[in-house]
């Protein structure tokens, strides 16, 4: 047995988001986001036609849920404010019901010694702003800055950990390349413009936070997916992996932490006439407003090889520069279709330590989605999810190794607290420490992993 002890004041917790947990209720004043809009237009695209109004009912279960957070060992918890709940039209009037809800949630967390980590954008563009172009429209950056200022004014006296965006590459991929987020179009030029405006909005929010003399920290949450070449001795494979890393990781990591864009990515995009439209002052703003804290979401690696065959798209795509490599013998989560590669979390942390000034960071998401977890319910009604315990344990071992080697990683948050609604997949895969029974009035039951996590957090480590 080896003892894995973590630093004092390590953040143990989980992550969620407003649009995936809050739901909608009569009189709540929430405006439509792109998810509400898309579900109204095409409900058949959503697994079992379950839409964003049927989430885990966080809006009406604050005290119960915070008690469950406490029971599962949380000393911290990340969720998001929904832009379309707080400011239903995207700009202008603030929704008083939303202010009351977020105040109650924040206060209840703090009263239970659980530090709120609050993110301000989790894929939930207000529908009114999307009708004007969403992130392709520079005016959205202005609206976002005002929204961020409103958040800081209303909640900054108690919230000391802020994040501008969660996984900003995902609206780029889903909305403008691979059609799994609204508006589900394929246009590389728009995708690059969206990425730039998201990054600019992040810098604008950080500048506003500091101008307002807020006394916490502000960062961004990035899903870092390490790109491994098929053959490290093959120059073409290495170059392909470097492009994938630049496009999907460093496009946000470098400007967020270093204040500048990767020169290789700029050169590659310039060569195909795909650079975004921007103003000279934008780059200076990004340079001068880097993050205090980095959230790292890690789920899977990306295996890359040089392009060998034509891809299926007839328009310019990132895949012009690389091809995915199906590595033999890899360990898989068969439900989600993702490779399980625990060392990737260590490689992410090592990269941050060696190449990004060892900026303070934490694992902001890591988790395992599984279908039909009711197969594992015991006679007491508890889901015995030993596979999740194994998954988290094996990743935490590599987080511990990174710490031993000097990584400045401050915590670990699993995705997620309670089984939640997950975009087009709805409830197809379950991720939580706590099971959700929507058919039984949203009944919550702590899984075996939740009880295990309480022990880990209480002991600030584990033996394995």
β-pairing, 461-463 vs 3-5, is antiparallel
CB count, 10 Å around CB of 228? 18
Structure tokens at 446: 């702590």
What is the number of other CB atoms lying within 10 angstroms of the CB of residue 70? 15
Residue 365 catalytic?
Answer: yes
Helix axes 169-176, 188-211, angle to 10 degrees: 150
Give the side-chain half-sphere CA count within 13 A for 460: 8
Rounded to whole angstroms, how far apart are CA atoms 114 and 407?
A: 24
Note whether 28 and 97 are within 8 A (CB): yes
Candidates 434, 429, 254, 438; CA nearest to 357 is 254
Q: Which of 198, 365, 371, 373 is catalytic?
A: 365
CB-based contact 119:17 (threshold 8 Å): yes
Q: Are strands 302-305 and 323-324 parallel, antiparallel or unpaired?
A: antiparallel
Tokens coding 1: 């047995």
Please report the beta strands in 114-264, taking only residues with DSSP state E, as ranges in sequence order.
115-119, 161-166, 217-223, 227-229
Cis peptide before 177 (omega within 30 of 0): no
Task: Note the helical H segments in 91-176.
Answer: 96-111, 127-130, 138-155, 169-176
Q: Distances from the Cα of 436 to the Cαs of 56, 367, 383, 430, 440, in angstroms? A: 7, 17, 11, 9, 9
Please identify every residue annotated as catalytic.
Answer: 365
């Amino acid at each position: 047995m080896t003892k894995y002890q973590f630093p004092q004041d390590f953040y143990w917790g989980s992550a969620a988001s407003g649009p995936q947990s809050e739901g909608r209720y009569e009189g709540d004043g929430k405006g439509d986001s792109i998810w509400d809009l898309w579900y109204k237009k095409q409900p058949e695209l959503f697994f079992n036609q379950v839409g964003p109004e049927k989430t885990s009912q966080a809006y009406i279960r604050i005290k119960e849920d915070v008690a469950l957070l406490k029971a599962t060992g949380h000393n911290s918890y990340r969720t998001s404010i929904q832009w379309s709940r707080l400011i239903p039209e995207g700009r202008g009037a603030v929704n008083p019901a939303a202010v009351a809800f977020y105040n109650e949630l924040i206060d209840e967390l703090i009263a239970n010694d659980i530090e709120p980590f609050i993110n301000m954008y989790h894929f939930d563009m207000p529908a009114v702003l999307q009708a004007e172009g969403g992130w392709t429209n520079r005016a959205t950056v202005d609206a976002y800055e005002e929204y961020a200022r409103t958040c800081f004014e209303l909640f900054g006296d108690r919230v000391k950990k802020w994040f501008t965006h969660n996984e900003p590459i995902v609206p780029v991929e889903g909305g403008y390349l691979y059609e799994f987020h609204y508006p589900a179009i394929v246009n590389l030029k728009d995708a690059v413009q969206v990425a730039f405006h998201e990054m600019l909005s992040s810098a604008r929010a950080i500048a506003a936070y500091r101008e307002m003399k807020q006394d916490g920290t502000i960062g961004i949450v990035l899903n870092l997916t390490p790109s491994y070449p098929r053959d490290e001795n093959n120059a073409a494979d290495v170059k392909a992996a470097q492009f994938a890393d630049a496009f999907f990781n460093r496009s946000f990591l470098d400007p967020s932490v270093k204040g500048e864009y990767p020169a290789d990515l700029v050169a590659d995009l310039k060569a195909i006439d795909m650079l975004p439209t921007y103003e000279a002052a934008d780059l200076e703003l990004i340079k001068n407003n880097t993050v205090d804290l980095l959230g790292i979401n890690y789920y899977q690696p990306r295996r890359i090889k040089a392009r060998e065959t034509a891809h299926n798209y007839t328009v310019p795509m990132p895949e012009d520069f690389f091809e995915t490599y199906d590595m033999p013998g890899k360990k898989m989560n068969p439900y989600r279709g993702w490779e399980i590669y625990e060392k990737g979390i260590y490689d992410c942390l090592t990269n941050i330590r060696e190449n990004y000034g060892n900026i303070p960071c934490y694992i902001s998401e890591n988790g395992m989605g599984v279908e039909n977890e009711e197969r594992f319910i015991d006679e007491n009604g508890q889901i015995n999810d030993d596979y999740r315990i194994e998954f988290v344990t094996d990743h935490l071992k590599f987080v511990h190794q990174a710490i031993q080697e000097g990584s400045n990683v401050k915590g670990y948050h699993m995705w997620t607290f309670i089984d939640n609604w997950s975009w087009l997949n709805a409830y197809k895969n379950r991720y939580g420490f706590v099971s959700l029974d929507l058919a039984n009035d949203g009944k919550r039951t702590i899984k075996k992993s939740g009880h295990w996590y309480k022990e880990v957090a209480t002991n600030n480590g584990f033996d394995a």
